[in-house]
């Protein structure tokens, strides 16, 4: 018989220390923590009674935009009255951001008791899961126990071998394909698309957010092999332009097959790059309706206008202050940085200050080459083992003409930028999810 849990013997802080310190964690360690099979995931899921079979799911993969798309879909489902779980990664401020129901994070007490029960049972199970494998099991078990109607599940890395890839969703979404994690997923867009296409299931419709010449045939061939329908969302839906409303939300002009639809649609997420994510969301919602999962236009409008409030999304062109304007964004690979730079170029300012850091297991040169030359740079090192040394970053940036200084911490770099900035200046903080995480914590 399992003994009762004493929450005092394993408090929340100690639980996090165990999760982060004892288990292989890609977020901190990088590729060394990556597992190339689903054995542990399947075994853990079985030991918890296959919780993933007890609720409907939507699976979201892609190089960029998958977090935003997952949060948008969760917000829309909540607005339609469905009790909605949301599993995403990585977290920015709090581990529990990864596991939400109707926007509410998993309570600390639930995390503590779940991990303690796992540790007791694992004395018998003898599984050695990665951090991600364990958190997927935690999320699916929590969603099942709380009897969610739906869970929107974001892929952690890749698709084919990702721990989330045991679900049989109502719809699969692949936002786009870019060059990221090439040491694990492949060196070309075609190879990476092949890994992402691993989430495509037999008779489960798949939505591709962005049509790319290099990947179209990979996806078409996979869909044919799986006997499923494939939809290229941007071939149907287009955000033609947007204006910024007095309420601080984007007013979107949307067309479907060349005809205006969804008049006065609002999105509370800022950043023009969200225009690329909207078609995938709209197509997924359309397919859900076709499957009898009712989502009215009113629910769609409410959900998209209130994504941050309903789902807790952080770090996507998030305004942290004004006079000077301070913005952070988690964009970190080539495509993500291109989108960020486009948004910076659309912003009015007197002088530009950029606080920038990255990780050591990625070559920063291509990303650095995309950054504006007209900025003062503050190169920083995030507080994790994977972080790139700030002086190395400064040296490599200097070789392509970027001017600035290096700082041993994110907070130090941000403080210096604020000290140097005029009220009409613009401070941007980014380059890495972990840089943004530190400034939000």
For 86-101, what is each residue's pLDDT tens digit?
A: 999 999 999 999 999 9
**Residue 247 structure tokens:** 């309420």
Helix (H) or strand (E) run with residue 300 in it: helix 297-305
Percent residues over pLDDT 90 in the chain: 79
Domain parsing of the chain, residue ranges: 7-236+269-311, 318-440
Q: Residue 99 in 3-state DSSP?
A: strand
Task: Evaluate if residue 226 carries a pLDDT over 80.
Answer: yes
- The whole-number pLDDT of residue 30 equals 47
Which residues, 6+ apart, have CB-to-CB distance to 366 below 8 Å? 334
Domain 318-440 has CATH 3.30.70.580: no
The strand pair at 352-356 and 375-380 is best described as parallel
Q: How much is the pLDDT for 17? A: 87
pLDDT of 128: 83
Model confidence at 247: pLDDT above 90: yes
d(CA 37, CA 197): 16
The pLDDT assigned to 400 comes to: 97
Exposure of 289 by Cβ count < 10 A (0-12 exposed, 13-18 middle, 19+ buried)?
A: middle
pLDDT at 27 over 70: no
Question: Which token pair is 436?
Answer: 């943004």
Closest CA to 148 of 77, 82, 201, 218: 82
User: Mean of the per-residue pLDDT values for the chain?
Assistant: 92
Domain 7-236+269-311 has CATH 3.40.1190.10: yes
Helices H / strands E in the chain, number of each: 17, 17
- pLDDT tens, 271-329? 889 999 999 999 999 999 999 999 999 999 999 999 999 999 999 999 999 999 999 99
Mean pLDDT of 180-184: 63
* Burial class, 94, CB count within 10 angstroms (exposed 0-12 / middle 13-18 / buried 19+): middle
CA distances from 329 to 175, 322, 344 (A): 18, 16, 11
Q: Is 77's pLDDT higher than 80?
A: yes
Mean pLDDT of 69-90: 98
- Tell whether the model's pLDDT for residue 154 goes beyond 60: yes
Is residue 383 pLDDT above 80, yes or no?
yes
Q: Please report the pLDDT score of residue 127 as a whole number.
A: 85
Residue 29 has a pLDDT of 46
């Amino acid at each position: 018989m399992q003994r009762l849990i004493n929450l005092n013997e394993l408090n929340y802080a100690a639980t996090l220390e165990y999760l982060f310190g004892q288990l292989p964690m890609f977020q901190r360690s990088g590729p060394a923590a990556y597992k190339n099979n689903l054995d542990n995931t399947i075994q853990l899921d079985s030991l918890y009674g296959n919780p993933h079979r007890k609720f409907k799911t939507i699976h979201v993969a892609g190089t960029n935009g998958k977090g935003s798309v997952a949060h948008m879909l969760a917000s829309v489902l909540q607005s339609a009255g469905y009790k909605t779980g949301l599993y995403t990664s990585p977290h920015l401020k709090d581990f529990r951001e990864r596991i939400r129901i109707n926007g509410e994070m998993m309570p600390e007490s639930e995390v503590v008791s779940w991990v303690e029960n796992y540790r007791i049972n694992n004395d018998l199970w003898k599984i050695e899961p990665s951090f991600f494998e364990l958190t997927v099991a935690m999320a699916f078990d929590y969603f099942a126990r709380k009897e969610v109607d739906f869970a929107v599940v974001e892929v952690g890395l890749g698709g084919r071998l990702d721990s989330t890839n045991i679900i049989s969703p109502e719809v699969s979404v692949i936002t786009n394909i870019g060059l990221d994690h090439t040491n694990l997923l492949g060196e070309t867009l075609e190879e990476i698309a092949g890994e992402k296409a691993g989430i495509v299931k037999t008779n489960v419709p798949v939505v591709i957010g962005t049509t790319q010449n290099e990947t179209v045939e990979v996806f078409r061939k996979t869909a044919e092999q799986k006997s499923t329908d494939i939809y290229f969302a941007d071939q149907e839906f287009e955000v033609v332009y947007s204006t910024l409303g007095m309420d601080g939300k984007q007013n979107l002009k949307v067309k479907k097959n060349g005809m205006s639809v969804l008049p006065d649609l609002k999105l509370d997420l800022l950043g023009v790059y969200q225009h690329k994510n909207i078609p995938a969301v709209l197509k997924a919602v359309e397919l859900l309706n076709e499957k009898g999962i009712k989502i009215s236009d009113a629910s769609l409008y409410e959900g998209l206008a209130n994504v941050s409030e309903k789902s807790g999304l952080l770090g996507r062109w998030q305004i942290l202050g004004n006079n000077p304007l301070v913005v952070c964004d988690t964009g970190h690979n080539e495509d993500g940085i291109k989108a960020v730079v486009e948004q910076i170029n659309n912003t009015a300012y007197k002088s530009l200050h950029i606080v920038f850091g990255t990780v050591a297991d990625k070559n920063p040169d291509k990303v650095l080459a995309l950054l504006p030359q007209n900025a003062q740079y503050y190169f920083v090192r995030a507080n994790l083992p994977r972080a790139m040394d700030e002086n190395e970053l400064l040296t490599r940036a200097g070789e392509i003409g970027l001017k600035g200084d290096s700082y041993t911490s994110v907070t130090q770099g941000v403080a210096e930028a604020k000290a140097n900035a005029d009220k009409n200046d613009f401070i941007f903080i980014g380059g890495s999810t972990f840089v943004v995480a530190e400034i939000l914590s």
